Amino acid sequence: MKVNGKSYRTVWMEGNIVRMIDQLRLPHEFKIHECKTYLETADAIKNMTIRGAPAIGATACYGMAQAVSAGVSIDVAERELGATRPTAHDLFDAIGFFRKRYNGSNAAAVASSYADASVERCRKIGEFGQRLIKDGMRVLTHCNAGWLACVDYGTATAPMYVAHEKGRKFFVWVDETRPRLQGAKLTAWELSQCGIDHAVIADNAAGYFMRRREVDIVIVGADRIAANGDVANKIGTYEKAVLAKESGIHFYVAAPASTFDLEARTGSDIPIEERGGDEVAFIEGVRITPEGSKARNPAFDITPAKYVTGIITEEGILNPWEKPASLV
């Protein structure tokens, strides 16, 4: 994607330094964050300087390359990087990819090949998914499953970007996505960069617009998809899916094959990360809750497959119970 006329990926590697767009500073400041060691890269994943399942995967692969190039054992690197975010399956897909292909001297090449393949997967998601977006449609999305959540193109946003490039006019409702506000901060910023018409709404306003027939389709991303089609995605996705079903609105999930975890039979087998309560209690460093109030902060929820119309992958649009052919 282009920012101020220059093309960027979300994350890349130069020499042994991993560079990434600092998502903690957006939308008010565009800055490149540098990680000089694999531990700094792991920390950037953990503190959400970079986030989004495919982006996490590519970053972890670069981190593995940093580690082994510095003489760190592959087991130690895997342990450190694998502990950063437990829910996103792409993280573990990327680490497994590196382990299988690293031959002792090709670390940077392995990591780059993973990132390049991730870009191509997302590009194909855009090509398959764009046919769902017609002129005049109103699309609702939740959280940020865009270019910033991937190496490029995005997952949920990839169909939007391709449809926009083809000249279609449509509108996007952007859920703010508490508590980290990735929709308001990141998705809205991306759409602004591309000139796609949109509006940010409070998370609990989505049902209002669905009931008023002002939403035609919902497209979200995923952090992990179980073998039965249950989907783990950013907290709040489940309620959007239920509302969409009740309102007769098609609900699509966009995700590459690397997000599928066939060892998880159902959504109940997917580990759900719970982050610190301060993310709920504070906004931009300002406490919004009483001093004595506790806060719970699950980062993801599970949407049962029965609420999913289809899954947009790089291999086509699948029924929720189908698996990408590359995994069968």
What confidence tier does 262 reach under pLDDT thresholds 50, 70, 90?
very high
Q: What pLDDT, on the 0 to 100 scale, is given for residue 328?
A: 76
pLDDT at 301 over 90: yes
Mean pLDDT to the nearest integer, 156-171: 97
The angle, 0 to 180 degrees and rounded to 10, between the axes of the packed helices 107-129 and 53-69 is 170
What token pair was written down for 163? 């449809």
Query: CATH 1.20.120.420 in the chain, residues?
Result: 2-122
Nearest to 53 by CA among 273, 277, 203, 269: 273
pLDDT at 251 over 80: yes
Query: Can you say whether residue 316 is alpha, beta or left, with left for phi > 0 and alpha for psi between -120 and 50 degrees?
Result: left
Mean pLDDT to the nearest integer, 87-93: 95
The alpha carbons of the chain give a radius of gyration, in whole angstroms, of 19
Contact criterion met (CB below 8 Å) for 148 and 186: yes
d(CA 57, CA 9): 14
| Total-model pTM | 0.95
Contact criterion met (CB below 8 Å) for 246 and 323: no
Burial of 33 (0-12, 13-18, 19+ CB in 10 A): middle
H/E element holding 172? Answer: strand 171-175
d(CA 47, CA 64): 18
What token pair was written down for 104? 């002792």
pLDDT at 310 over 80: yes
Mean pLDDT to the nearest integer, 231-243: 98
**CA 163 to the chain's CA centroid:** 20
pLDDT at 33 over 90: yes
Nearby residues of 314 by Cβ (< 8 Å), 6 or more positions away:
120, 121, 122, 124, 125, 128, 256, 257, 324
What confidence tier does 1 reach under pLDDT thresholds 50, 70, 90?
confident
Mean pLDDT to the nearest integer, 157-177: 97
Q: Which residue has the higher pLDDT, 4 or 55?
A: 55
Q: What pLDDT, on the 0 to 100 scale, is given for residue 182?
A: 97
What confidence tier does 4 reach under pLDDT thresholds 50, 70, 90?
confident
Residue range 288-297, pLDDT digits in tens? 999 999 999 9
What confidence tier does 107 reach under pLDDT thresholds 50, 70, 90?
very high
What token pair was written down for 186? 């990141």
Nearest to 253 by CA among 326, 178, 305: 305
Mean pLDDT to the nearest integer, 263-279: 97
What token pair was written down for 118? 């991730």
Residue of 152, 216, 223, 230 with catalytic role: 223
Q: What pLDDT, on the 0 to 100 scale, is given for residue 43?
A: 98
Query: Can you say whether residue 71 is alpha, beta or left, with left for phi > 0 and alpha for psi between -120 and 50 degrees?
Result: left
Superfamily for domain range 2-122: translation initiation factor eif-2b, domain 1 (1.20.120.420)
Tell me what the pLDDT averaged over the chain comes to: 96
d(CA 53, CA 51): 7
d(CA 151, CA 16): 18
d(CA 147, CA 145): 7
Classify domain 131-327 by CATH architecture.
3-Layer(aba) Sandwich (3.40)
Mean pLDDT to the nearest integer, 189-207: 96
- The strand pairing partners of 220, in sequence order, are 253
Nearby residues of 7 by Cβ (< 8 Å), 6 or more positions away:
1
**Is 175 part of the annotated catalytic residue set?**
no
Mean pLDDT to the nearest integer, 296-305: 98
What token pair was written down for 46? 């953990």
Query: CATH 3.40.50.10470 in the chain, residues?
Result: 131-327
